[in-house]
A and B are shown apart, each in its own frame.
Chain A
Amino acid sequence: MNKLLLIIRREYLAKVRNKSFVIMTFLSPILMVGMVVLIAYLTQVNDNEHRVIGILNESDFFSNEFVNTESTSYLQFDDISLEHAKDSVSGLGFYGLLYIPDEINLEKVCSRSFLYTKEAPSTAIIDKIEGVFQERLRQQRLLELGVSASEFETVDTNFDIHTATFDGQTNIKGINEIKAFIGGGFGYLIMMFIIIYGGFVMRSVIEEKTSRIIEVIISSVKPFQLMLGKIIGTSLAGITQFAIWLVSASLLLLVAFAFFDIDPAVLNTSAHIQDQMGANMAPPIPVADQTMRLYAQELLSIPWVMLIGFFLVYFLLGYLIYSSIYAAIGAAVDNETDTQQFIFPIILPLMLAIYVGFFSVFSNPHGPIAVGFSLFPLTSPIVMLMRLPGGIGEGGVPIWELVVSILLLFGTFIGIVWLAAKIYRVGILMYGKKPTYKELFKWLKYD
């Protein structure tokens, strides 16, 4: 036990004192925050651009339907030719020219109208202008059907269905996605951690092989102790790095936003789009506040303690499974270039878990695919965490699924670590051989 601690300590210090590790630890948050700030800044600049669109209206069907907004304003041209108007618009540096010809009826006017721009127009502008035409056409058709505008307004209602589970819990739209997103965040964290620090474990094993210290150490400690110490030491270094990243990135982000005077809300794009649409199309929904409160309530009702508890369980088992595979790979090869053929099969289930998670679990957290992948031990650490924010038991993940998933994961953990330790034990003392899967299989039979 004492030897294990010694190994853990050495692995931890070797990692933490490593120059590139130190640089990565302190540079990454700066890069990350820099990127976020840049994106936020650019988004803001982009949104602040003011567009002017000239309108050459020769028809009587349109008069003042085009209303200036914060980002777009319209300028009417009168009594000039289309060619002249185009010249003026490009001369004045306007965004574009909307041409509405004079025709006998509205349908024809609409179908003959043109939007001229210097470059291909943005979808936002097209949506806006199309919206105006659509609204005008609808009014016209209603009028032809004998419905007045005011009459129509009383018919026009906005409706959202209320949903609830059988035990009376109120649901709100989108909350499943948000919950899965939170779980997905945890799952993603596990994947990143496995790929980054599993790779560290592997490289550290290769280093011991190439520097030929391995046989010196292995005559003092059991190979399994060395492997375990290496995995634990490296992950402690990883946790240290993650903690530093988390703290320094959030501090930096706060400072940066304060300094550049950027509203963090601009990053919340979905809310942003909703705002725009709300302003343009329909009157603001009075229930918005209430919805927000419901969302907040739902988020608070996510069983965080349970979630973090299970995150730790899945993280620990998942990471140990994968990093012992990485250690075995490191032991099997002589240098890093030989690792490729073995790495891909490891990354595959991780990628699968993330993609299946985002595409399938989001839409149906308790569907057969989601259940299957949250039971399969190589994907369960990620997929199960995406399902768990929905709670356990009724309405959430059935208890039996959770128990089976953890038992399977634990069994796999024991099995994989045992197999990996065997490959590791043989591999660390093999030099100059490029191993094949067949070779590895043979090693499993040695004792």
Chain B
Amino acid sequence: MNNILVTKEVTKKYGEHTALDHVSLEIPKNSIYGLLGPNGAGKTTLIRIINQITYPDKGEVLFDGEPLRSEHIAQIGYLPEERGLYKSMKVGEQALYLAQLKGLSKAEAKKRLEYWFERLDIGKWWNKKIQELSKGMAQKVQFIVTVLHEPKLLIFDEPFSGFDPINANIIKDEILNLKEQGTSIIFSTHRMESVEELCEHIALIHRSKKVLDGKLSDIKKAYKNNIFKVGLQTDSADMILKELADKFDISSSSYDAAESQLDFTLQLPNSDSRNVLVYLSSKANVNRFVETIPSTSEIFIQTVQSKEP
């Protein structure tokens, strides 16, 4: 069984509104999976179904090969988008309480908390109340509480909102570290660029439907459109452009006469770029020849537009 979580045709309705429409996903073990889509697409509903906060109307969810049961709660860690802690409760006491609710014994919870508090350098906050902490500090506590019970599957909903860049990096490193140790991770976000570098797999959700999913590198390959950004050092720009324009689509060309620098975008008919490169290098010095790979959000927009009538 290579998937930690599989959803099959999961459908969920709230009254007239369909929040999820036959969504099927396969989330592989020991990887970081990006659940991407704009606000209101249905990501949070899907996550709540995985956490058994709510239940699907139709469809099935398998956790590690078994139908999802309430015992699985202890093996899932969830950092919700709308998150917070009891304001007037002490940090340590609160963390202990939440850990115990996840099924840890008090002694075990305390041991692990001490380790994590030390690790994230917040040991001296144990007896402080949440209302005395800054937002970023509270987020650290929240992160610890999420991962403390060492779940097989971690779900982060907009994990970096509320963190300053330094702490966001600390948390990112911790997440990568957890992945190294074998944890499977789901990232949910509407800011698609933010997790692109972390995710190996993604699924795009739009208007309650899954519009695209798979390995990020495969998707990018599939969405390559053979567009290259070219930079040439030449004095005969007009001639080169004219010759190229006969065979290919040229766009956004610009010529800097003082520097003799010609820049343009080249659309090739296929991914074979060797001939054109040979031709170019026979005419001028090539100082840039870059394939433009679409970003996730570009892919998203493209996919959505292509599916709309």
Judge whether B98 and A219 touch: CB under 8 Å.
Answer: no
B15 at interface, CB cutoff 8 A:
yes
Name the distance in Å between B120's Cβ and chain A's nearest Cβ. Answer: 18
Judge whether B73 and A219 touch: CB under 8 Å.
Answer: yes
Within 8 A of B (CB), among A371-408: none
A211 to B138, CA, bound (A): 12
Judge whether B97 and A220 touch: CB under 8 Å.
Answer: no
B78 at interface, CB cutoff 8 A:
yes
A18 at interface, CB cutoff 8 A:
yes
B145 at interface, CB cutoff 8 A:
yes
Known contacts: A6-B101, A10-B97. The answer to whether A220 contacts B84 by CB under 8 A is no
Judge whether A211 and B86 touch: CB under 8 Å.
Answer: yes
Judge whether A429 and B14 touch: CB under 8 Å.
Answer: no
A216 at interface, CB cutoff 8 A:
yes
A7 to B98, CA, bound (A): 10
Choice from A219, A442, A445 contacting B76 with Cβ under 8 Å: A219
Judge whether A213 and B101 touch: CB under 8 Å.
Answer: no
A215 at interface, CB cutoff 8 A:
yes
Choice from A6, A208, A219, A446 contacting B80 with Cβ under 8 Å: A219
Interface flags, B57-83, vs A, CB<8A=1, else 0: 100000000000010010010101011
Choice from A14, A18, A217, A445 contacting B101 with Cβ under 8 Å: A217
A213 to B55, CA, bound (A): 21
A10 to B55, CA, bound (A): 28
B88 at interface, CB cutoff 8 A:
yes
* CB-CB nearest in chain B for A18: B88
A residues near B78, Cβ cutoff 8 Å: 215-216, 219
Judge whether A14 and B89 touch: CB under 8 Å.
Answer: yes
Judge whether A446 and B15 touch: CB under 8 Å.
Answer: yes
Name the distance in Å between B28's Cβ and chain A's nearest Cβ. Answer: 22
A78 at interface, CB cutoff 8 A:
no
Known contacts: A215-B80, A216-B142, A442-B15. The answer to whether A221 contacts B86 by CB under 8 A is no
Judge whether A213 and B100 touch: CB under 8 Å.
Answer: no
Judge whether B88 and A220 touch: CB under 8 Å.
Answer: no
Name the distance in Å between A208's Cβ and chain B's nearest Cβ. Answer: 8
A408 to B289, CA, bound (A): 82
A447 at interface, CB cutoff 8 A:
yes
A431 at interface, CB cutoff 8 A:
yes
Interface flags, A3-30, vs B, CB<8A=1, else 0: 1001100100010001000000000000
A212 at interface, CB cutoff 8 A:
yes
B51 at interface, CB cutoff 8 A:
yes
A residues near B57, Cβ cutoff 8 Å: 447
Judge whether B82 and A212 touch: CB under 8 Å.
Answer: yes
Chain A residues with CB under 8 Å of chain B are: 3, 6-7, 10, 14, 18, 207-208, 211-213, 215-223, 429, 431, 442, 445-447
> 8 closest Cβ contacts across the A-B interface?
A212-B84, A215-B80, A220-B101, A211-B84, A219-B78, A219-B51, A212-B82, A213-B84
**Other than the known A207-B86, A220-B73, what 17 A-B pairs have Cβ atoms closer than 8 Å?**
A14-B86, A211-B87, A212-B80, A212-B84, A213-B83, A213-B85, A216-B145, A217-B101, A218-B51, A219-B52, A219-B73, A219-B78, A220-B102, A429-B53, A431-B82, A442-B15, A446-B14
- 30 A-B pairs within 8 Å (CB atoms) are namely A3-B101, A6-B100, A7-B101, A10-B97, A14-B88, A207-B86, A207-B87, A211-B84, A211-B86, A212-B80, A212-B82, A213-B84, A213-B86, A215-B53, A216-B84, A216-B85, A216-B142, A217-B101, A218-B51, A218-B53, A219-B51, A219-B73, A219-B80, A220-B73, A220-B98, A220-B101, A221-B101, A446-B15, A447-B55, A447-B57
Chain B residues with CB under 8 Å of chain A are: 14-15, 48, 51-53, 55, 57, 70, 73, 76, 78, 80, 82-89, 97-98, 100-102, 142, 145
